[in-house]
Structure 1
Amino acid sequence: MVTGKGGTGKTTVAAALALALASTGKNVLICEVEGRQGISQLFDVPELPYEERRIAAGLAGDGGRAGNVFALHIDAESALLEYLAMYYKLGRAGRALDRFGVIDFATTIAPGVRDVLLTGKVYEAARRGRRKGSSSRQGVVYDAIVLDAPPTGRIAQFLNVNSELAGVAKVGPIKTQADTVMTLFRSPRTAVHLVTVLEEMPVQETADGIVELHKDRLPVGGVVVNLMRPRDLDSEDLAAARAGRLERDRIGKELEGAGLDVDDDLLDGLLAEAHDHAERRALEDAQRRLVADLGVPTYELPRLPGGVDLGGLYELAALLKAEGMA
């Protein structure tokens, strides 16, 4: 499971993790449940249907073979129709309910049921025996499943489907499925990774998310610090920039030596930029110390200057693999 505050790049990290796992020879399924089609955009493939599709291969390394990455876009309405067809034999009748808006009504008034359906589909993909008649690729056994999960503020509620369902269904097949899903989510087979950037609100939300996950007995994996900036100045220069002690005349002479026309406006602007950069770096360093105190493994990914395309995903996957996350 990969979660994170909006804007931290959790979908990018989930995609990179899937590629990293595939690069160890594993067949990997990456699932998304938020309806944004973020996975298809990252991998530059057509919008994903409610059906498992192969979208990429991992990079083979160390003389081994590369695995494949499959993807599945899960939506509650399709999952409920499939559920009705599999357990209640409501094939055409289920589609008729959908036309009348009953499916959307059921999944809207009972969000606990919606989450059970979404997580239940992930559970089905994790089973070695695939149920006939489902949208799963029969015969494909996945070595790993990566879920691009909801944001940190909702992750514990989303995964703890039993508590959400308590007021809706205390017995019956839906309750049984929720119990089965929770057994998997609380087992050593599952890890919830949290993505953050070095800013106060995302780091605090990550810390709160870890507390919530522990409270619900859900297994925390690690924290991925994403969008790291390069360290262009050493500690001494950063301290001087923050204190306004940079040598103005020396900087001017060095710029002139590089062939630039130097005036006071240029120097004022550069010194102001240096001060702002040093302040930003001090904030990031403070947040990094807080992340280090969270008591879980941490991994770091850089901000890619050209943005994230498929080549960038492979680059991030190689870094996650080198850091031991895959």
Structure 2
Amino acid sequence: MPPAAAPSHAGVRLHVVTGKGGTGKTTVAAALALALTQQGKRVLLAEVEERQGISQTFDVPPIGHEETRILHERNGGELYGLSVDVRESLMEYLQKFYRLGRAGTVLEKVGAVDFATTIAPGLRDVLLIGKVYEAAGRRQGGRHKDRPVYDAVVLDAPPTGRVVRFLNVNAEVADVAKVGPIRTQADSITRMMRSHTTAVHVVSLLEEMPVQETVDALAELQKASLPLGAIVINQVHAPMVEEKELASVESDRTGVAAAVTSDLKSVSVRTSAAMVAGLLEQAGEHAERVALQQEQEAILLAQGRQVYRLPLLPEGTDAGGIRVLADALTEQGMI
């Protein structure tokens, strides 16, 4: 691992993590939040898709609509989790801006919440992000009233296919609310999302579809004036043999076959033509995968963003795997 670089997102307080479904964006968001916590910071990790990804990743009871402490580091760092619920958010919103009290509960019982968020999807996103916005902007009381409650907030956002629409709430509610509390809230959220203290990171795998979706997402984010962060390449397969040896598998199979046979015999392994042919076939498949990874990585590097790589964990995030990923992000200087 290369020596740690200077943190490249030191001024960022809101880290938004997105990526194509299946790339491990929730795992990356959790690793990033843990890395920040290990620096002694108080961090909030929030999710908005009600999938309980946080609780599964950290093996804790289901996280609810209230901020819940997940872990405490020896250096004082604290990690809190939040699973934003749209119905709870609407009830809080109605109480805060309209003082509806029990009337809000009646609206929920008659299905008004589902009706409102169905006819105005942008309203749903305002409610979801609004909870994160409130947590990110909340200040401590007393003599520390100018200090934020959380040093950093990490948002496990929707996949790249709809992340721009999700984050660009101002445009989404333009036709629904031109004035009033909803519009004011959307304007405030938009200012936060476009601030230099926010960064949208995109998670990818070194495969054609995730890479293409990452490229498209970066272009859409930039077009929407949302602050681009880093590209995080997840589940990187380390080459099992040297690049020169991989190349020889294709260029000199006869010579490689002889070398493999000789090496196996030198350690008293009985060989056959079929065994050696099978090994060479596997080596050829591995060489193709490495070549594909290099090709796709070149496309990501060409995007001009900072790129960080996380290793493939055969056993997943169990047995401390999430800390391995957090350490990798720290050592590469992401935070």
- The TM-score bracket by the shorter chain reads over 0.9
Helix, strand or coil at the partner of 1:191? strand
Helix, strand or coil at the partner of 2:50? coil
CA distance in 2, matches of 1:88, 1:38: 33
Residue matched to 2:183: 175
- What does 1:156-195 align with in structure 2 at a 5 Å threshold? 156-195=164-203
CA distance in 2, matches of 1:128, 1:110: 27
Residue 129 of structure 2 aligns with an amino acid whose one-letter code is T
CA distance in 1, matches of 2:72, 2:30: 12
Residue 63 of structure 2 aligns with an amino acid whose one-letter code is L
Q: CA deviation at 1:206?
A: 0.8
Instruction: Pick one of 37, 40, 56 that aligns with 1:25.
Output: 40
Q: Kindly provide the CA deviation profile for residues 186-235 of structure 1, in whole angstroms up to 9, marking residues without a partner as x.
A: 01110000000101111111111111111111100100011001121111
Contact kept? 1:197, 1:225, Cα under 8 Å:
yes
Residue 178 of structure 1 aligns with an amino acid whose one-letter code is A
Instruction: Pick one of 217, 224, 238 that aligns with 1:230.
Output: 238
Residue matched to 2:210: 202
Q: CA deviation at 1:57?
A: 2.9
1:148 aligns with 2:156: yes
CA distance in 1, matches of 2:127, 2:317: 31
Q: CA deviation at 1:236?
A: 1.1
Contact kept? 2:221, 2:227, Cα under 8 Å:
yes
Q: Write out the 4+ residue segments of structure 1 that deviate beyond 6 Å after TM superposition.
A: none
Residue 81 of structure 1 aligns with an amino acid whose one-letter code is M
Q: CA deviation at 1:265?
A: 2.0
Q: CA deviation at 1:244?
A: 5.4
Residue matched to 2:302: 293
- What does 1:267-282 align with in structure 2 at a 5 Å threshold? 267-282=276-291
Residue matched to 1:219: 227
State the identity as a percent.
Answer: 52
Contact kept? 2:67, 2:81, Cα under 8 Å:
yes
Q: Kindly provide the CA deviation profile for residues 152-176 of structure 1, in whole angstroms up to 9, marking residues without a partner as x.
A: 1111111000111112111111011
Contact kept? 2:139, 2:148, Cα under 8 Å:
no
Residue matched to 1:134: none
Could you list the runs of 5+ residues in structure 1 that have no partner in the other structure? 132-138
CA distance in 1, matches of 2:331, 2:241: 26
Contact kept? 2:19, 2:202, Cα under 8 Å:
yes
Contact kept? 1:124, 1:130, Cα under 8 Å:
no
Q: Kindly provide the CA deviation profile for residues 262-315 of structure 1, in whole angstroms up to 9, marking residues without a partner as x.
A: 222211211111111101110100111111111111100000122112611111
Q: CA deviation at 1:141?
A: 0.4
CA distance in 2, matches of 1:48, 1:286: 40
Contact kept? 1:194, 1:223, Cα under 8 Å:
yes
Is 8-17 or 228-237 further displaced after alignment?
A: 228-237
Using structure 1 for the length normalisation, give the TM-score. 0.92
Instruction: Pick one of 9, 14, 18 that aligns with 1:3.
Output: 18
Helix, strand or coil at the partner of 2:60? coil
Q: Kindly provide the CA deviation profile for residues 229-274 of structure 1, in whole angstroms up to 9, marking residues without a partner as x.
A: 1121111111122345352122012123333332222112111111
CA distance in 2, matches of 1:319, 1:144: 19
Helix, strand or coil at the partner of 2:80? strand
Residue 298 of structure 2 aligns with an amino acid whose one-letter code is R
